[in-house]
Structure 1
Amino acid sequence: MSDALFRNVRLLDPAHPEGMTSPCDLRVEGGVIAAIGDGLAAPDGARVIEGRGDLLMPGLVNAHFHSSVNHMKGRLPCLPLELFMLYESPALETLRPTPRQAYLRTMLGCIEMLRNGTTAVMDDCFFVPEPTPEIIDAVAQAYADSGIRATLALDEPELSEIEKLPFLAELAPPHLQGALARRPRLKAPDLLALYDHLITRWHCAAEGRIGAAVSCSAPQRVSPEYFAELDALSRAHDLPVLAHMLETRLQRVLGHESFGGRSLVRYTHDLGLLSARMQVIHAIWVDAADLDLIADAGATVAHNPISNLRLGSGVMPLREMLDRGISVSLGVDEAIADDAVNLWSVMKTAGMIHTLSGDDPDRWPTAGEVLRAATEGGGLAMRRPGLGTLALGAPADLNLVDLSSLAFLPLNDLVRQLVHVEQGGSVRLTMVAGRVVAEKGRVVSVDETALLAEAREVFAGIAPVLRRAAAEVADLLPVYRAIHDRAAARDVGMRRKLEKGLL
């Protein structure tokens, strides 16, 4: 942690008529915001940063991310989730990375995020074909070295494909049944041992920047017993619980087929596992009863609008969530489902996609609501008090934004221009925990040039491996397409996308 003084900056304040304060100073001590005022003195040895009247704002929080595919941008066409995952995360030995490959692919995301002002990330990391302590350490070490603030979970299903998906047992040909009914090699005790490693070695590491979370991946992908063990870990260490829920229509259908007509939200509630520590990810195919349960539990929701569009999943009912007081955060999801790791474009999409949800413009999200989701909403999801704010005592995770850039010329409405115009190029400086980690468009916490050169060579070398892995799952594609098509034909009592007859 470092000390610094920002001199002559304007602080983001969406409640102010101009969206920001008059010029002032902000002092950082011990990695937190220590003082705000005029004519502040710099701590001994602190760096003085001349603001020139530019905007100082909280860093952005990427509240849902899968770093494992940072090296796979642009590899896949737009596909429904169930087909997409065949290529994104097949449990193939072919795709086992070396620790260095895992480090480099994680660092690719860190560099992209820090360059454009994302200062914190929640990585629901999946490990192909399975996690090991060495790969977990490589991912966490990349986050520690980069200077970003990160929360890391192990997104590992425990059940077989046939147990996770409706219609698969019926539609899969006999020669595929055995493989699809086989559970992953690592069982609940193995995964819990890996969580012990993650929590013991990395939770609160790097002066508190690195933290652990737990992940069931999705409620239908784990046994109730393992889900309860994860919740107990979360409760013991006050960790976020990450759970993908109702991302697709097929997952809504799954509730009717496998959970006695209960949605996955209701199923989680009935297990006693829906809590204020839980981040419900996607939450597209939810109904009013689901939202009431989420609100009553105090759980948060991670909104991933670009990924939802890329995979054709649908439009999340954002206003209905905000009406209930549910805290919403924003996520990139992953580079392969966004093709960038840029929360500014996620904000812009979130600010526009919900205009398709109805004709009443008073119920469309405001720029202020979107900006809050990308900052304070993410901090709440990470269970980091003050993160994403400029409150005294809050972590000094900050962006200095050049107000003379084209994005703000002319300056008509600061908050709207941050959400709808800015794409990260105006970020002059990025600070995490009081340390400058990016400046003038480059990451300065690591040797960016050397790392990118190494990553370019390494990932060019494994391109044939990715092509071979895609060929290995080709037999499954028609089966999963049949599952998707059957679910798409089911009436689930709600519409979350443009469908036949609506155009």
Structure 2
Amino acid sequence: MSVRVVTARWVVTGISEDGEIQMIDDAAIAFEDGVIRAVAPKAEIVAAFPDARVEEYSHHLIMPGLINAHHHVGLTPLQLGAPDSPLELWFAARLAIRKVDPYLDTLYSAFEMISSGVTTVQHIQGWAVGDLDAVVGSASRVIEAYDDIGMRVSYCYGVREQNRFVYEDDAAFCDRLPPEIGKAMAAHLQRLTMPFEDFLTLFDRLTETKTSRRARVQLAPANLHWMTDDGLLALQEKSVAANVPMHIHLLETAYQKEYAYRRTGTTAVRHLEKLGMLGPHMTIGHGVWMTEEDIEICAGTGTCICHNCSSNLRLRSGALPLMELVNRGMTVGMGIDEAGINDDRDMLQEMRMVLNLHRTPGIDPSDVPSAGDVLRMGTEHGARTTAFGTEIGQLEPGCRMDAVILDYDKATFPYQDPDIAPMVALIHRAKSKDVDTVIIEGEVVYQDGCFTRVDRDAILARIAEALAAPRDADELHRHELREAVFPTVRAFYDDYLQNTADRTPFYKASSRR
């Protein structure tokens, strides 16, 4: 392929160690075969590559592509019939959601992500129904959808061995139910069950069959309560042998903190440390209920964290003590999880949410995240939680050419004082409408509100047609089952917090007296 050049009023190359946004004025990027060759002032690039095709964006800013470091589904649970609830009850509420073809479902959220500047997604699939071949088929359809739209994906399938519905053995929970309901629930859970070896085979088959260089496969032990210690150790061994990272949900709620104590007599983080599972290859999704000692352990081992701000707010999970991590120099990515605060996947909005949620009372700037901190979470640090690592997340020579071109004039109309740095202004003000162009692996996949590979209107029409049909027999059965089991799930957690009830906060945001 020949060298191409894009020019802009500003190019943001990355963020310095002290959180300063690094930017070149009147700049250009030269790239070839999906890889950045050079980034420098426009005059230097044009002189160095005189035969290159040049595309000019005179009133725009080019920034690294954003990374959604924790994602699951397309149509949101709310869209499909599950209202927001505390996480442990939300699992029960989701029992009755509608079925959607995984290919169409994946494209739905890919449209939202790309149009808000996301170029790479950490897709953690789970709960596919059926045997190994059925799950391979579903996973392959997810990866195919990302390939068709041109998006970069770090894919993993959440491994669940036990405790699939509440924080106790499946059979024990079913025994809590009236006999007929318990029997129906057991049958439902059986449909979600695979032998552990099949999860390893799933990883192998997906790794062997994927063809796109924009897709990589990694591993995902779903959570401590969903895994046995033997299973965790087997996945750690597989991770080392295959040289791939892992992503685990952990300490999302206070109830998960309590579960870890009941099972291990210590914290979930301490338990994973004892098993030898922590390190830069491991990302903890959520981590809201880490103790100060847990944070020190993660910092000392180089373990990554993914902050899922909107999800934690919506599901009443709590708030990650972000600055305790940032001030220790930890790698912290950012994920939108099932859906953002507006029930969508808008990464520009999510960055603003993170920036503002953690603005605690006081005047010391080190107590709150800077715009640079948040941008780094959404780019470089998010990249390190994926199987692509340092190949993405920056606009530097040798990195993959994944970039977002924002229309600065449109985003800041009618006025923006130049005392405010351009990228800072955009973090505060830019919306999806201001995303002019998205480039992934050197290819324009989105421009002027249109996707270059996939007809968005046609896909949305197919989804609408499919979901316009009445619930089928399986969906009706699960809807009835949800109503029958929900009170038992609620009762299970009534007195659950017995050993870890201390909620002394990291943040002090109000005063009773």
TM-score norm. by structure 1 comes to 0.88
* Structure 2 portions without partners, runs of 5+: none
1:491 deviation in Å? 1.4
Q: Is 1:472 the counterpart of 2:481 in the alignment? A: yes
**Match of 1:264?**
268
Matched, 1:136 2:136: no
- Percent identical among aligned pairs is 26
Q: Corresponding residue for 1:396?
A: 401
Counterpart selection for 1:201 from 180, 197, 209 = 209
Once the two structures are TM-superposed, the CA of residue 467 in structure 1 deviates from its matched residue by 6.2
Kept in 1: contact 2:67–2:393 (CA 8 A): yes
Task: Check whether the contact 1:284–1:317 (CA below 8 A) recurs between aligned residues.
Answer: yes
Alpha-carbon spacing, 1:282–1:2, altered in 2? closer, same or farther (3 Å): farther
CA contact (8 A) 1:10 1:56 kept: yes
1:33-112 equivalences under 5 Å are 33-37=36-40, 38-39=42-43, 40-41=45-46, 47-67=53-73, 69-70=75-76, 73=79, 75-88=81-94, 90=95, 101-112=101-112
Distance 2:512 2:466 in 1: 47
Cα deviation for residue 316 of structure 1 reads 0.4
Change (3 A) 1:357 1:155: farther
Q: CA deviation at 1:69?
A: 4.6
Moved more, 279-288 or 450-459: 450-459
Q: What secondary structure sits across from 2:345 in the alignment?
A: coil
SS class of match (2:484): helix
Whole-Å separation in 2 of the counterparts to 1:140 and 1:446: 15
Q: Please state whether the residue corresponding to 1:286 is helix, strand or coil.
A: coil
Tell me the equivalent position of 1:298. 302
Paired residue for 1:315? Answer: 319
SS in 1 for 2:193: coil
Opposite residue 22 of structure 1, the aligned amino acid is D
Deviates more, 1:490-499 or 1:215-224: 490-499
- The SS at the match of 2:433 is coil
Alignment-derived partner of residue 453 in structure 2: 445
CA distance in 1 between counterparts of 2:161 and 2:361 reads: 36
Residue of structure 1 aligned with 2:374, choices 345, 349, 370? 370
- What amino acid does structure 2 have at the position aligned with 1:258? R
Using a 3 Å threshold, how does the CA distance of structure 1 residues 241 and 27 change in structure 2: closer, same or farther?
same
Q: Which aligned pairs between 1:219-258 and structure 2 lie closer than 5 A?
A: 219-258=224-263
CA shift digits 1:244-302 (9 cap, x unpaired): 00000101111222222x11111111111122211100000010111112112211100
- In structure 2, relative to structure 1, the CA distance for the partners of 1:421 and 1:45 (3 Å cut) is same
Q: Does 1:286 align with 2:287?
A: no
> Root-mean-square deviation (CA), in Å?
3.2
Please state whether the residue corresponding to 2:37 is helix, strand or coil: strand
Change (3 A) 1:174 1:453: closer
Query: For 1:187-226, what per-residue CA distance to the aligned partner results, in whole angstroms no more than 9, with x for missing partners?
Result: 1012222111111112xx31x2100011111022012222
User: How far apart, in 2, do the equivalents of 1:217 and 1:496 lie?
Assistant: 26
Instruction: Choose which of 190, 212, 220 in structure 2 pairs with 1:215.
Output: 220
Shift of 1:70: 4.6
Amino acid at match of 2:345: V
Deviates more, 1:77-86 or 1:230-239: 230-239
Q: Using the alignment, how far apart are the partners of 2:225 and 2:442 within structure 1?
A: 41
> Structure 1: where are the runs of 5+ without partners?
none
Q: Secondary structure at the match of 1:77?
A: coil
- The one-letter amino acid paired with 2:195 is K
> Using a 3 Å threshold, how does the CA distance of structure 1 residues 338 and 266 change in structure 2: closer, same or farther?
farther
Q: Which residue of 2 aligns with 1:350?
A: 354
SS of residue paired to 1:12: strand
Distance change >3 Å, CA 213–CA 370, structure 1 → 2: same
Single out whichever of 275-284 and 36-45 deviates more from structure 2.
36-45
Residues 304 and 333, structure 1, Cα contact 8 Å, conserved in 2: yes
Whether 1:491 aligns to 2:501 is: yes
- Distance, in Å, in 2 between the alignment partners of 1:144 and 1:199 is 15
